[in-house]
Amino acid sequence: MIFDTHCHLFDESFQKDFDAMIKRARKNGVQKFLILGDNLKNSLATVEMIKKDPDFYGAVGIFPCECHGCDLEKTLGEIEKLLSDKAIKAIGEIGLDHHWEKDPGQLKEQEMFFIEQIKLANRYHLPLSIHGRDACESIYRILKEYRPEKGAILHCYSFSCEMIEPFLQLGCFISLGGPVTFKNAITPKEVAKKVPLDRLLVETDSPYLAPVPYRGKRNEPAYIIEIVREIAHLRNMDEKEIEKTLFDNACRFFGVSES
């Protein structure tokens, strides 16, 4: 059994073959899916999608590059309305992105949205799913000051091995995706070996970041098996054993039944 802890199944690239895509995922052992919104429109789409299948869970939030020009209070008020659905298990995809955004004003805006969404998560006793690109120090600083009471996932972890322990001390889980399978991805492979097994998760980030041997193609949850296999290889563990542990970790983190 596998839990894809980060996918965007509302993406238009899945519209033409959605049912077949889910069937392929289940054939490869994917039992549960965490679908993440990244703006108000996609968060609304997530809420509708999780009604289709009891194994679909959701997260809603505003992605850092989506917050520019949004009214903070009004937008987060709309996000808050979506939290009444019991299948919403996290606030996300939220965080900071210093790769695509360089303007100081917009970076400040990202931080405001990030902090207020952490506060929202804490009010509703929900964990976070965090996007962080080229923003390690800022994310660590904010999480240390505004500690998420139910923990956080560092989605598609791209920071250094040295930062694993500081983030673990803040209650974070480390999630790995397609990049861990890339031939020259030295840091993700080292991270896969170093993270304590009980704090490790896997994801696809579908439709993005497809693993080898599908790199460059549309990603989908079925391909998560390649990520699990690579982690098992790197840790010199039985594939089924690590698969079960990762599944249990995700169910525990999101507070869902393993059945």
pLDDT digits over 188-218, tens only?
999 999 999 999 999 999 999 999 999 999 9
Strand segments, DSSP code E, in the chain are 2-7, 30-36, 56-60, 88-97, 128-133, 152-154, 172-176, 200-202
Residue 52 confidence (pLDDT): 93
Distance CA 119, CA 165 (A): 23
Average pLDDT over residues 166-195: 97
Token digits of residue 91: 């606030």
**Burial class of residue 102 (count of CB atoms within 10 Å of its CB; 0-12, 13-18, 19+):** exposed
Token digits of residue 177: 């995706």
Place of tokens 């659905």: 85
**What pLDDT band is residue 259 in, cutting at 50, 70 and 90?**
confident
State phi, psi for 86 to the nearest 5 degrees.
Answer: -65, -15
Residue 105 confidence (pLDDT): 87
| DSSP 8-state assignment for residue 98 | T
Q: Structural domain boundaries of the chain?
A: 2-254
Residue 211 confidence (pLDDT): 98
User: Given this structure, which CATH class describes domain 2-254?
Assistant: alpha beta
| pLDDT cut 90: percent of the chain above it | 96
pLDDT digits over 80-133, tens only?
999 999 999 999 999 999 988 888 889 999 999 999 999 999 999 999 999 999
